Amino acid sequence: MTGTDRRLVLATRNPAKVVELREILAEALAGTGLELVGLDAFAGLEDVVESGVTFADNALLKARYAARATGLPALADDSGLAVDVLGGAPGVFSARWAGPLAEAAGTSRDEANNALLLAQLADVPDEHRGAGFVCAAALVVPGEGPGSVGREVVREGHCRGTLARSPRGDGGFGYDPLLVRPDGRTLAEHSAAEKNAVSHRGQAFRALSEDLQTLSP
């Protein structure tokens, strides 16, 4: 911590993620007196290149950078979709699966990723369309010296389902409109509270709740 600064940094510039994590961690944060903020709360911070080969690698890369740069405890996550018949792909490449096709098609990155994945799986029968989201959530605490890190913890969460043949639902983001849960609805057809209760990200960060208690004043 820096003096009396009771902020906890989430290594993202996505305001929707900050809101989502505040909801997921509401009870845990209430017990610590910490305020969750994103990278945009600090001037001059750079974006971290996600060069890791696993979700845990990327989560730690981002959390370590945020902890070193701010001197505050930091959270980060990396998540993606693992499709059974694709051997676990898109995996860590989920967010950039369509590559430059997104810009070329004049669509959003999410729309391009979903369209490409559906095209790749067009001939795959329903019984072989199993897939699941995976999330690695990391907590990194600053070390004693400037720019150093101390304790590191990584927890994982999983959310299984099958892939629809077309997007459904207006909620969520990424591949949420494609993953059909056992109740027949995609994650994008769940309310925010319903999604947080079953999602990979919700599971991973709730698993970190006990670790956050060590940051209590």
Annotated binding-site residue? 70: no
Annotated binding-site residue? 12: yes
Indicate if the alpha-carbon torsion angle 61, 66, 68, 69 is positive or negative.
positive
Indicate if the alpha-carbon torsion angle 38, 44, 47, 51 is positive or negative.
negative
Q: Is the Cβ–Cβ distance between 65 and 48 less than 8 Å?
A: yes
Annotated binding-site residue? 200: yes
pLDDT at 114: 95
Our answer to whether residue 78 is catalytic in this structure is yes
Q: How far is it, in rounded angstroms, from Cα 137 to Cα 128?
A: 29
Annotated binding-site residue? 17: yes
pLDDT at 171: 87
Annotated binding-site residue? 205: no
pLDDT in tens, 177-193: 999 999 999 999 999 88
Model confidence, pTM? 0.88
Pick the CATH number of 7-215 from 3.30.70.20, 3.90.950.10, 3.30.9.10, 3.30.450.40: 3.90.950.10
Q: How far is it, in rounded angstroms, from Cα 79 to Cα 55?
A: 6
Q: How confident is the model at residue 102 (pLDDT cuts 50, 70, 90)?
A: low
pLDDT in tens, 39-93: 999 999 988 888 889 999 999 999 999 999 999 999 999 999 999 999 999 999 9
Tokens of 76: 């980060």
Residue carrying the six token digits 């910490």: 34
Candidates 40, 57, 77, 78; catalytic one? 78
